[in-house]
Structure 1
Amino acid sequence: MTTQILFIRHGETAWNRIKRIQGHIDIPLAESGIEQAQLLAARCANEACAGVRLDAIWSSDLMRAQQTAQPVADALGLTLQLTEGLRERNYGAFQGHDSDQIAERFPDEYAHWQTRDPGFSPPEGESQRVFYHRVLHALEPILAKHTGGRIACVAHGGVLDCIYRFANGLALDAPRAWPLLNTSVNVVDFERDGAATQARVLAWGDVMHLPSPSDDDSFKRSS
């Protein structure tokens, strides 16, 4: 039986604008992010009025995700459900810095990070491989609870990246060529057969509810 999940990246934060790594640091939405969340909620309410159901809404327990998800939950009369498993990757000592600062303060670790080694962990942080499996593990009880349903999960760019790679069978060290946009709606169908789970991307990077372009989850500053 198919379970459809709308994976939604949180709205814009002040640190998104300056490309400072947030990770597990609990940063709130910027005013622009609050507006994005309100526009997302209006879109979901309009779709509900047109008969497009949403059975439940889940969110990372970090503030920026909750602040994005709560307006949607309120608009649809749903109770927001939180899970720590959908948090962004823990970047440890890299958190709170931009890429230039990391290169200066942690030159050896920065050089290793740039090789895209899935086993590399920032000091006190998670490797990409550990993060990927943590995200997939967090989805298991959600899928089990909503078999055959249509739900939303509000999370982070890194979480969406893990989902896209899983659905498309892409290696963790493959360069990213897909967008991870603030308040984007990314639709994925999941089929479970016993212990096996397969996923298929139906739509990706949809920001039709926004009047202007949405920022991508990148560590590189715009020129």
Structure 2
Amino acid sequence: MTTRVLFIRHGETDWNRIKRIQGHIDIPLSTSGIEQAHKLAERLAGEAKQGARLDAIYSSDLTRAQQTAQPIADALGMLLQLREGLRERSYGAFQGHDSDEISVRFPDEYAHWQTRDPGFAPPDGESSRAFYHRVLHTIEPIVAAHPDGRIACVAHGGVLDCVYRFANNLPLDAPRSYALLNTSLNLVDFDIGVATVVSWADVRHLGGRSEDDGFRRVL
């Protein structure tokens, strides 16, 4: 039984624009991000009228994700279900800084970060390996609760990255070559533990334009 999940990255924040790492810091959407969220809600409401309804909508409990998900839930008359496990990766002491600041404040840790070692964790933060398993363990029961269903999960760029890597069997230390766009629709089918990307980085509701604020380390 196939479950289709619409993975959605939250709308733009002011920190996205300046490439400052947010992690678990609870940053709200910017004015432009709120606008993006409402455009996405309008699109999904229109699709629902054409028969493409959602069975459930889940969201990270961080404000930027909730502010993106709530307009969708309101437009479809649905209850928004929060999951802490859908949060972005915790970057610990790196949070609140951009890459240049990190290289100065934490030169040794920054050098290790650049090696893309999946076991590396910033001070008081989460390794990419621990984050990956946390995300997959959160998604698994959500998918299992909706066999043959169609649901939405509003989360973060890092969460989408984990999903894409899982579906395409990509190692965690492989450089990223795919987009993680604000308020993008990313459709993935799950069938007996196997994930298949149906479409990725769809931002037609934004006129085809959105931003990927990925750090230089993944470009």
TM-score normalised to structure 1 length: 0.96
Write out the 4+ residue segments of structure 1 that deviate beyond 6 Å after TM superposition.
Answer: none
Query: Could you tell me how far apart the structure 2 residues matched to 1:48 and 1:167 are?
Result: 26
* Aligned counterparts, 1:151-162, within 5 A: 151-162=151-162
Q: Secondary structure in 1 aligned to 2:6?
A: strand
On the 8 A contact 2:17/2:213 being kept in 1, the answer is no
Distance 1:41 1:76 in 2: 8
Q: Does 1:208 align with 2:204?
A: yes
Alignment partners' CA distance in 1, 2:44 and 2:11: 15
Q: Displacement, 1:212?
A: 5.8
Q: Could you tell me whether the CA contact under 8 Å between 1:8 and 1:155 is conserved in 2?
A: yes
Q: For structure 1, list consecutive stretches of 5 or more residues without a partner in the other structure.
A: none
Measure the CA separation in 2 of the matches of 1:68 and 1:46. Answer: 17
- 2:92 corresponds to which residue? 92
Equivalent residue number for residue 41 of structure 2: 41
Distance 1:135 1:22 in 2: 17
Q: How does 1:51-62 map to 2 (within 5 A)?
A: 51-62=51-62
Cα distance in structure 1, aligned partners of 2:182 and 2:216: 16
Query: Who is 1:135 aligned against?
Result: 135
In structure 2, how many angstroms separate the alpha carbons of the residues matched to 1:128 and 1:77?
Answer: 36
In the alignment, structure 1 residue 218 sits paired with structure 2 residue 214: yes
Q: What's the CA shift for 1:97?
A: 0.3
| Contact 1:157–1:217 (Cα < 8 Å) also in 2 | no
Report the CA distance between 1:220 and its aligned residue: 3.7
**CA distance, structure 2, for counterparts of residue 212 and residue 128 of structure 1:** 30
Query: Quick one: distance in 1 between partners of 2:208 and 2:55?
Result: 29
Deviations 1:194-217 (A, max 9, x none): xxx110000000000003621103
**SS of the residue 2:103 aligns to:** helix
Task: Evaluate the alpha carbon distance shift between residue 203 and residue 212 of structure 1 in structure 2; reply closer, same or farther with a 3 A threshold.
Answer: closer
Aligned residues: 217
Answer yes or no: is the 8 Å Cα contact 2:88–2:157 preserved in 1: yes
Please give the alpha-carbon distance, in whole angstroms, between the structure 1 residues aligned to 2:126 and 2:139: 18
Query: Contact 1:19–1:220 at 8 Å: present in 2 too?
Result: no
- 1:155-194 alignment to 2 at 5 Å? 155-192=155-192
Identity %: 74
Superposition RMSD in Å: 1.0
Structure 2 stretches lacking a partner, 5+ long: none
Query: Contact conserved, 2:23 with 2:91, CA < 8 A, in 1?
Result: yes
1:123-176 deviation line (CA, Å, top 9, x unaligned): 000000000000000012101211110000000000000000000000000010
- Residue among 177, 195, 199 paired with 2:195: 199
In the alignment, the residues of structure 2 paired with residue 70 and residue 181 of structure 1 have an alpha-carbon distance, to the nearest angstrom, of 19
Say if 1:57 and 1:206 are closer, same or farther in 2 by CA, change over 3 A.
same
